[in-house]
Amino acid sequence: MNKFDILNGTKIKPEMLKEIINLDKKVYEEKYWTNIGFMTKWFSKNPYIITMIYDKGNLAGYFCYLPIEDESYLEIRKGEVFQDLTIPVENIKKYKKGESNNLYLFSIVLDPKYQGTDALRYLLKGFYDNTKELKEKGVIFNKLLGDVVSDKGYKLAKSLGFNKVYDTEYNSVMFESYYDNMIEKYEKKYKE
């Protein structure tokens, strides 16, 4: 069993984000590759948008979750935006005490060599720990939206209590849940 290093927030340095594209190339069709320019801008505005896991210094996976303005959330939910690849930086929110946040789950990616290992558990733990720490500081999480592009993602979304909203016109499935519902499912299924 591998032990992965989990990095969140300011433990991640901007230059580390470039590693994401290499992982995307192993897993996704080109149309789903992360736009590193946008990712870097989002991260500069709010570094608490991503969990990265490493195995002996090598990126094993990442999970990006964007706190977005309500307008962007609704546009994505309605299918008016092709995924997350071009969300303007001004639509990414900074976390503020007492303010409610809807998250867009941008991407959950594991290097193929770590699929079927406990790497997914570590990625989810990173998200859990990061959002739990933010909640302890007064940040509120409300709805979660995810655009699933793989069978494994579909199964994961269902296991975490997400409900299907619709099939998109670009060969994916839009899912939605409430933060507390996802956390409850996570604690039952994945938390050790």
> Using alpha carbons only, what angle is made at residue 147 by residues 136 and 3, rounded to the nearest 5 degrees?
55
Give me the phi and psi of 76, to 5 degrees please: -65, -45
**Structural tokens at position 4:** 């992965």
Q: What is the pLDDT of residue 191?
A: 74
Range of the domain at 96: 5-189
Task: Please answer whether residues 178 and 144 qualify as being in contact, where contact means their C-beta atoms are separated by less than 8 angstroms.
Answer: yes
CA of 8: how far to CAs of 46, 56, 100, 145, in Å?
11, 17, 20, 20
Sheet holding 50-55, edge to edge: 5-8, 50-55, 58-68, 100-110, 140-148, 173-178, 163-167
pTM of the model: 0.91
What average pLDDT is seen over the chain? Answer: 91
The per-residue pLDDT for 163 is 96
Residue 102 CA, chain-centre distance (Å), reads 12
Confidence grade of residue 85 (pLDDT, cut at 50, 70, 90):
low
Query: Strands 58-68 and 100-110: what pairing?
Result: antiparallel
- Number of structural domains the chain divides into: 1
What is the residue whose two structure tokens read 């849940």?
Answer: 177
Categorize the per-residue pLDDT at 80 as very low, low, confident or very high, splitting at 50, 70 and 90. low
Burial (CB < 10 A; 0-12, 13-18, 19+), residue 78, is: exposed
Q: What is the CATH number of the domain that holds 160?
A: 3.40.630.30
pLDDT at 61: 97
Alpha-carbon span 92 to 88, nearest angstrom:
7
| Per-residue confidence (pLDDT) for residue 81, from 0 to 100 | 62
pLDDT of 88 above 90: no
Percent of the chain having pLDDT more than 90?
67
